[in-house]
Amino acid sequence: MTLREATPDERSAWDDLVWGNPGGPELYQLQSYADIKAPVWRARHLVHEHEGRPPVYALYLYRKVPPFGELWYCPMGPRVADADHARACMEDLRADGRAFAIVLEPSVPAQGPEDREQLLASVPGLRDHPDLQQGQHTVLVDLRPEEDEIFASFRQRARRHIRKTADAVVEHRTDDEAFETMWGLYAETMERAGVERRSKEYHQGIWRRYVDAGQGHFVLARPREGGGVEAGAFIIHRGELGYYKDGGSLRTRDSNGLQYRVQWEAMRWCKEHGATTYDMYGAPPSWAAEDESHKLHPLVQFKTAFAPIVDQVGTVQLVLRPRVFRAWDRVGMPVYRRLTAKANPLFY
């Protein structure tokens, strides 16, 4: 087992190497995400190497939290193929010893909550942690079939709303006005749902970064010619992956069902540009889809109209220095949350 720093050549090809990880591609492991989280979180580009397995290129974010030491976070990673591979990577981290605790989101498939429980029970110091990134339970739409086959695979609800909004005007845009329009839709939707969100500057900064890189754009829909924009989404596309990042809509009679049209047009655009999978990013675990208390429950009916939920084991935390961690958990984390709440209410 080896954990090493990426070489300069690997750093220069980082995004392509991450895209080929055994656990599949992941946007939150790319350099662009490290840039988004800087300077609060710094980046370490590490490589896990194990005999008989392909290397795993893993982006670890870290921040120094005096007097406790370094807290690490691997967003939507490491991108491993299975639970055994994840355990091997955790042993690498234990031997490294620089962090007192590491939050991990390994790409280990899960058929049910027992898979998560088995992983937690099998690694010393591994403990439960609330999910940070919503994409650990998501809806993946297969874009490889022909368009009519993809459409036919949707549930009746999605097909009905897409047909009903046939007169909608859908635009693919990256202009400055589109940023403001999308923010208005997104902010209103989050407020209506009672969901905590980051600042306008944070979200628009993310959108701008992907737009400038040629990987992101807005899909905005008007119910009819001459009408105002009432639904939209921000879409990211890289290689074989299309990715629904953010969305929003007004609550009006005309907007009813318009988000189904937005998603369908986004899928069509991604397919035309080479994507074979469309990730709808974020859902409750499939085994909790009927749990109305889950914060993502309102999305279930909408997203599962396109495809079923696919699960990973979720967020876990590897505690490497138990005494330091207990002090951090009881005293340090609450203090740091209060100190950083204005700039980032979510801390990570």
> What ranges do the domains of the chain cover?
2-133+315-340, 137-310
**Distance (Å, whole) CA 37 – CA 40:** 6
For position 10, what pLDDT does the model report? 98
Query: For 83, phi and psi rounded to 5 degrees?
Result: -65, -40
Superfamily for 137-310?
Gcn5-related N-acetyltransferase (GNAT) (3.40.630.30)
For position 289, what pLDDT does the model report? 84
For position 90, what pLDDT does the model report? 98
For position 245, what pLDDT does the model report? 95
Question: Matching CATH topology for 2-133+315-340 and 137-310?
Answer: yes
For position 193, what pLDDT does the model report? 72
Torsion of CA 208, 209, 211, 213, to 10 degrees: 160
Query: Domain 2-133+315-340: which CATH class?
Result: alpha beta
The residues of the chain scoring below 70 in pLDDT are: 343-345
**Distance (Å, whole) CA 57 – CA 128:** 24
For position 158, what pLDDT does the model report? 97
For position 345, what pLDDT does the model report? 65
pLDDT in tens, 168-203: 999 999 999 999 999 999 999 888 877 777 889 989
